[in-house]
Amino acid sequence: TRFLKDFPFSASSLDTYLNCPLKFYYKYVLGLTEKEGVFEELEREEIGLLVHQVLFDYFRDKIGKILTPKDLNLWELELEKIIDHRFEEQYGKEVVGEIYLLKRQVKKHLEDFITRYQIPKLKETPVKIINLEHQLEATKDTFRLTARMDRIESRGNRIVIIDYKTSASRKYLSINFNKLDLNKRESWNEAIGTLQLPFYTIVYSFSTGVSLEEIECFFLLLGRNLIDQDIELPLFEDEDRNGVAEKLSCLHHIIFTLLKEIIDPDQPFIPASNRQDQCRRCIYNNTCSNS
């Protein structure tokens, strides 16, 4: 119990618990890890890390500056040099075959990201990057909450927290408020793809003092075939914007209810309710007797 009360909870650990409490127990309490994961998962994770590194390198000397379309047009060659450097560092000087094709794809996607998303966005509103890959920690109701945020910027008078995703799918990232019932615990798994964005609002607000009303969060779906303004996936989409404060309060309630469950010694770490979906993709298949 003491271990869990002192545990630094992250959004991913909370998502793990929501999807399968037993998996949370294996991963975070017992510390069990798999030496080899599914190849496709490893490949996806590697690509995601590389893209994050490139975007960090590209924007890091722009922290604290008001970004302008003219500046980003001038920095187009800089992006290509950064991609070349990161690929050489990861795969060596001579990239051939699948790695060569991957490099071309990353270049095309990130060039489109700058020209078809970032520059048009700068024409709409002033943007200033506040921080990149920023680690924050907050304590709320005795719980230690920690988050590493890909990008934090100001847009006008609002703080915007951005998380890069190299996938194209909205399925595991969205929250279906039509299915979500605060009073029905079983609905939470079905309705919530991830608690990452509402979790970030808590950590940022309580660690900086910025009010929740001033914070926006969204994912950027960099894995989409077409990169344009629609790659933004906000916490609340247009049809969800009615009663934003109430919905956010509901999500925060869910987060702290889950945290209280985790540290409750009388609450067992049970297997996922939707085992067919969760167990199929779980790295603890060979360990867990419930799969």
pLDDT at 75: 73
> How big is the CA angle at 90 (ends 165 and 64), to the nearest 5 degrees?
55
Listed range (98-107, 147-156, 206-215) with the worst mean pLDDT:
98-107
pLDDT at 197: 97
Query: What are all long-range contacts of 261-266, with beta carbons under 8 Å and residues at least 24 apart?
Result: 261/17, 261/21, 262/4, 262/9, 262/17, 262/21, 262/24, 263/1, 263/4, 263/5, 265/1
Average pLDDT over residues 169-198: 92
Phi then psi for residue 179, to 5 deg, are: -95, -20
pLDDT at 283: 77
pLDDT at 53: 95
pLDDT at 41: 54
- Give the integer Cα–Cα distance in Å for 98 and 18: 36
Q: What's the Cα-to-Cα distance from 39 to each of 89, 232, 277, rounded to whole Å?
A: 21, 28, 19
pLDDT at 56: 96
227-264, pLDDT tens digit by residue? 999 999 999 876 566 688 889 999 999 999 999 999 99
146, 9 contact by CB (below 8 A): yes
pLDDT at 38: 47
Residue 12: band (very low, low, confident or very high) from pLDDT cuts 50, 70, 90: very high
pLDDT at 93: 83
22-76, pLDDT tens digit by residue? 999 999 999 887 655 544 554 677 888 999 999 999 999 999 999 988 888 777 7
- Give the integer Cα–Cα distance in Å for 81 and 232: 26
| Percent of residues, the chain, with pLDDT higher than 70 | 91
- Give the integer Cα–Cα distance in Å for 276 and 274: 6
User: Which residues, in sequence order, are bridge partners of residue 132?
Assistant: 151
| Percent of residues, the chain, with pLDDT higher than 90 | 61
- Give the integer Cα–Cα distance in Å for 251 and 253: 5
Please count the other Cβ atoms lying within 10 Å of the Cβ belonging to residue 70.
10
211-229, pLDDT tens digit by residue? 998 999 999 999 888 999 9
Inform me whether the pLDDT recorded for 287 exceeds 80.
no
Across the chain, mean pLDDT equals: 88
pTM listed for this prediction: 0.91
Q: Which amino acid is at 29?
A: V
Average pLDDT over residues 78-90: 91
pLDDT at 291: 52
Average pLDDT over residues 271-286: 73
Give the pairing of strands 127-140 and 143-155. Answer: antiparallel
Residue 171: band (very low, low, confident or very high) from pLDDT cuts 50, 70, 90: confident
pLDDT at 273: 76
